[in-house]
Amino acid sequence: MRKLVLALCLLFPAAAALAVAPGGPAPDVSAPQLLDPARSLELKSLRGNVIYVDFWASWCVPCRQSMPALDGLYRKYREQGLRVVGVNKDVAGADVERFLTRVKVTFPLVADKDDAVAKAFDVQAMPSGYLVDRKGVVRYVHRGFTAETTGELTHEIEMLLKDPA
């Protein structure tokens, strides 16, 4: 029994250390584009910009609110260096298509059917968003989405955009 407890104690901190948290580096991940799976998007190719990585799915009720809000922020700040990447967690392509006919976005979307990107970010809720500074450091993590989230994100994005790098 003592060996089991010791083993669990040793494993638990290691798992916690893998979590993507403010102050840590954003994972260098690559995923196929949702609408053009032959092409991939690499997160490291966006370095030098402020990046918001958003995990979403068609079945996620708060995503219906977050996606248009994120698109508004993207359109408002993209000329200043904001990039938004939507990471889709759906398995069925028909579900994604139905969602995107109702909720239009202009930022890039990637697919994560094998959960590799979600595991790299240690996604724990839907939607989850990770705001990354120009140097590739995660500065803020948002889990869920409420009416207040847009205001918080706007403030955080504006602060990070002021930092030239």
What does the pLDDT read at residue 118?
96
Structural domains of the chain in order of their starting residue, each with its CATH number: 2-162 (3.40.30.10)
What does the pLDDT read at residue 16?
42
- Given phi > 0 = left and psi -120 to 50 = alpha, else beta, which region is 23? left
Burial call 144-154: b when 16+ CB within 10 Å, e when fewer: ebeeebbeebe
DSSP for residue 127? S
What does the pLDDT read at residue 135?
96
The amino acid occupying position 77 is: Y
What does the pLDDT read at residue 3?
43
CA distance 16 to 109: 28
Question: Which strands form 82-88's sheet, in the order they lie side by side?
Answer: 109-111, 82-88, 50-56, 128-132, 138-143
Ranges of residues in the chain with a pLDDT under 70 are 1-19
What does the pLDDT read at residue 162?
95
Query: What is the reported pTM?
Result: 0.87
The amino acid occupying position 126 is: M
What does the pLDDT read at residue 113?
86
